[in-house]
């Protein structure tokens, strides 16, 4: 079989059928294109909405982390201040330190002592 033995009939019905099949293919291609574009549009909307939500959450997370850092700094300052005040309370409970503080700050003197103030 070297040659082609089958030939199409070129009747008006065959031409109409061929034209109808071509029109059906074009219509199907058009429908598929519209569906594809609609799906791309819907997916794009979802990506955009979720992207914006993720971006807002990242910004909020950054703000919260900054507040946590600031609060940690304040907490560390308060802890060091508390430690200093606790040390001062311990010193004030020591009678010798308390006596020395009263003598230097309020010029307190025992009976028979004379206090001399020198100008610096």
38-77 pLDDT, tens digit each: 999 999 999 999 999 999 999 999 999 999 999 999 999 9
Counting beta carbons within 10 angstroms of the beta carbon of residue 13, is it exposed (0 to 12), middle (13 to 18) or buried (19 or more)? exposed
Please give the radius of gyration of the chain, using alpha carbons only, rounded to the nearest integer.
47
pTM (2 decimals)? Answer: 0.54
Neighbours of 101 (CB within 10 A): 14
Tokens standing for residue 55: 């971006």
Residue 39 is predicted with a pLDDT of: 98
pLDDT above 90 as % of the chain:
61
Average pLDDT over residues 73-97: 94
Round to whole Å and give the CA distance between 108 and 119. Answer: 18
Residue 2 is predicted with a pLDDT of: 63
């Amino acid at each position: 079989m070297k040659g082609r033995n089958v030939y199409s009939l070129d009747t008006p019905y065959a031409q109409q059928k061929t034209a109808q099949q071509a029109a059906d293919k074009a219509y199907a291609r058009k429908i598929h294109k519209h569906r594809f574009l609609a799906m791309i549009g819907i997916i794009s909307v979802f990506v955009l909405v979720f992207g914006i939500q993720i971006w807002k959450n990242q910004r909020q997370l950054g703000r919260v982390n900054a507040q946590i850092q600031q609060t940690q700094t304040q907490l560390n300052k308060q802890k060091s201040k508390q430690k200093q005040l606790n040390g001062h309370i311990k010193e004030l409970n020591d009678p010798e330190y308390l006596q020395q503080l009263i003598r230097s700050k309020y010029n307190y003197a025992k009976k028979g002592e004379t206090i001399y103030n020198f100008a610096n």
